[in-house]
Amino acid sequence: MATLIQSYEQQYSVLTADITAKIGRLKTGNEENREQLSREIHANFEEANDLLEQLELESRGAGAGSRVAAYRAELQRVRDEYRSVTTNSNNYNIDSEEVYDEWGGANEQRRKLLDNSERLERAGKSLTEGYRVVLETEQIGAAVLQDLSVQRETIQRSRGRLRETDEQLNRSSRLMNSMIVRALQDRFILVMVFLVIGVLLCAGLYFSVT
């Protein structure tokens, strides 16, 4: 990243030096090559703007400070110098004011594009953060559902044990009732036997006396 930034800075320095040299030639050049020099300078300005945009984007991506503001100020000074040369030239055929306004409009459009790029980048970061929060929420929800599922299984097992215990208690109750009934029956039989024996004894005594 740092190597790429240095490469852009070197290219920008070469371009500004070339523009300055061409402006110097424009001051002393003859009328025949003024238009050609102006077109070349205009193309150099466009290329310099593109380089500064690339440099600014790379600097932002690297998260480091940059000298783009100083470079833009320097480029603006060179433009002012070029504008002064073209304005002071009486026999110049190209409308320098129109060219300068076009550059200004192009710079404003580039600035708006950069601002839009920043907003899109911030929106993208917000979406990424929102997506991360959604994923975390989904993970928490999945963990909660898993805990609820485990608790449900535990409750179901507890209910099953309660049913088994209730069934065992019912069986024990029925068994106890059966044992009580049998004990009552046995007692009734014993009482009946004692009564029969008593009756027989009484009858034997009666017949023996008579």
Write the pLDDT tens digit of every residue in 132-191.
888 888 889 888 999 998 999 999 998 888 988 888 898 888 899 889 999 899 899 999
pLDDT of residue 104: 55
Tell me how far apart the alpha carbons of residues 140 and 124 are, in angstroms, rounded to a whole number.
24
Assess if residue 198 is contained within a domain: no
DSSP 30-42: -HHHHHHHHHHHH
Assess if residue 182 is contained within a domain: no
pLDDT of residue 140: 92
Say if CB 87 and CB 96 are below 8 A apart.
yes
**Range from 6-10, 32-36, 71-75 carrying the lowest mean pLDDT:** 32-36
C-alpha pair distances (Å), 80 with each of 37, 73, 74, 101, 104 = 16, 10, 10, 12, 12
pLDDT of residue 94: 43
Tell me how far apart the alpha carbons of residues 96 and 111 are, in angstroms, rounded to a whole number.
22
pLDDT tens, residue by residue, 37-95: 888 888 888 888 888 888 888 777 665 556 778 888 888 888 888 888 877 654 444 44
Place of tokens 């299984």: 153
pLDDT of residue 192: 92
Tell me how far apart the alpha carbons of residues 177 and 117 are, in angstroms, rounded to a whole number.
88
pLDDT of residue 95: 45
Kindly tell me the sign of the dihedral angle through the C-alpha atoms of 137, 142, 146, 152: positive
Assess if residue 68 is contained within a domain: yes
Write out the two tokens for 10: 């070197």
> Which amino acid is located at 82 in the chain?
Y
**Residue of 64 and 21 predicted with greater confidence:** 21
Assess if residue 203 is contained within a domain: no
Write out the two tokens for 138: 């989904």
Assess if residue 176 is contained within a domain: no
Assess if residue 183 is contained within a domain: no
pLDDT of residue 83: 87
pLDDT of residue 66: 61
pLDDT of residue 189: 92
**Segments forming the whole domain that contains residue 75:** 2-94
pLDDT of residue 62: 62
Write out the two tokens for 114: 């950069």
Domain count, the chain: 1
Tell me how far apart the alpha carbons of residues 77 and 16 are, in angstroms, rounded to a whole number.
11
pTM of the model: 0.42
Q: Residue 56 maps to which CATH number?
A: 1.20.58.400
